[in-house]
Structure 1
């Protein structure tokens, strides 16, 4: 692992700040001053790394958690109004976890938490168009063909037309919608625009990752293969 990344993972500073610390000659490895932030350091704790003479304890590689967010929980790391946050559902320890994207407070379902900023950017940046699937229960009973076609081809919203979406109606009044963009409250706004306001909304899939049997309020750590699949989904043209 590169030294600047090692220091960042250990909570010394951000990667950019860690690079400056190294270049300033404040870091020693096995008793020798190192000024190259790209210097390789074993991440198993076998190297004696000091910053300003104080030992640095390595932290394991970045983690990704899948969480089934309940209603009433906000998708932020903290909340000024004292509401429960999705980060509070996971025992993070010393890690600083951040939600990957957001679900509004009323929406339930799959959201990811990670300390890997690069992965979060891959999964949320519009240019990667990572698909996200929602199940919506809507008012008005069966959604007619005209409304379904509008949802599939693009709905005109106040911030412009939506991209084409994949829309199925497994049963009357229930829609399974897959988007490749992530505007604020987009599914709710789309359904309202075609005359079928959302009653309940749940995200069930993000890229290749499915919510599965995870119950509301529960979480699990993703394994390396699942994380790799998420990266591949974001990089796919």
Structure 2
């Protein structure tokens, strides 16, 4: 909730002092009623404010969050089946935010949330070309030929063939391979389907970077706010066609414990 004169000033209608005069003169309405009390508080996202008979457009405070999504959560604001969603971890954020893109229920890792619709839409558009980096645990062992198939693209997927990707081995165990895959597409369950196409199952999938943003040591269920420089960098990716930059080892910004992760 904010003071009415502050909301009017933030909308660019008048200075705060002039807004106070307009309120006292009876030129301001809130939800259809004239308001003349300077101490009146309104919710910019819910209340209808009119000045001189015209509704003002209130730009909400922009929020940009980087969350480490755990497995077992839906990347959605609401789930009709009642399953837990990523919104459980940002309940202390007053502004309404929503996920940028998605991570599957069984996937984990870096997920952006914001209320900046223009930026979110641009980042999710296929033309953005923003690179996403994943670490993938695969059942069995991959041959050089299969790694090449993943990298060169052309695998038949619902919605079209896969584009070329950057693939490199990370480590091996007696029964599994870990690889890194970097793609710029965003087809649903794309990594899993690509791996299935070459005859293997994905046992674990974790997104560790989005463009130049790295997950770093953020714990599952925790989030942090992006710095102004990072927000500027994201907007720059859109104009540069998603060209990736080297991700920082230790991203800046204070981590916040998610609600489900024990943070209150």
8 A Cα contact 1:45 1:57, kept in partner: no
- Give the drift of 1:90: 0.8
Looking at structure 1, the residues matched to 200 and 16 of structure 2 have their Cα atoms a distance apart, in angstroms, of 55
- Give the drift of 1:92: 4.5
Match of 1:14 in 2: none
The one-character-per-residue Cα deviations of 1:124-150 (angstroms, maximum 9, x if unpaired) are 100111111110000112x11111111
Looking at structure 2, the residues matched to 43 and 153 of structure 1 have their Cα atoms a distance apart, in angstroms, of 58
Report SS of the residue matched to 1:113.
strand
Match of 2:126 in 1: 126
- Give the drift of 1:51: 4.0
Looking at structure 1, the residues matched to 213 and 140 of structure 2 have their Cα atoms a distance apart, in angstroms, of 31
The one-character-per-residue Cα deviations of 1:50-109 (angstroms, maximum 9, x if unpaired) are 444355466862011110001111100011111111112013543111100000100010
Match of 2:189 in 1: 185
Equivalent positions of 1:42-53 (< 5 A) are: 47-48=19-20, 50-52=28-30, 53=34
The one-character-per-residue Cα deviations of 1:194-222 (angstroms, maximum 9, x if unpaired) are 11210000000111100001010111111
* Larger CA deviation: 110-119 vs 158-167: 158-167
- Give the drift of 1:157: 2.0
* Larger CA deviation: 48-57 vs 208-217: 48-57
Match of 1:210 in 2: 214
* Larger CA deviation: 107-116 vs 147-156: 147-156
Gaps of at least 5 residues in structure 2 are: 45-58, 242-264
Equivalent positions of 1:136-175 (< 5 A) are: 136-141=136-141, 143-154=142-153, 155-172=155-172, 173-175=177-179
Which structure would you say has the larger Rg? 2
Match of 2:47 in 1: none
- Give the drift of 1:187: 0.2
Gaps of at least 5 residues in structure 1 are: 1-9, 11-27, 31-38
Report SS of the residue matched to 1:226.
helix
TM-score, normalized by length of structure 1? 0.77
TM-score, normalized by length of structure 2? 0.70
Looking at structure 2, the residues matched to 225 and 101 of structure 1 have their Cα atoms a distance apart, in angstroms, of 22
Root mean square deviation of aligned Cα = 2.7
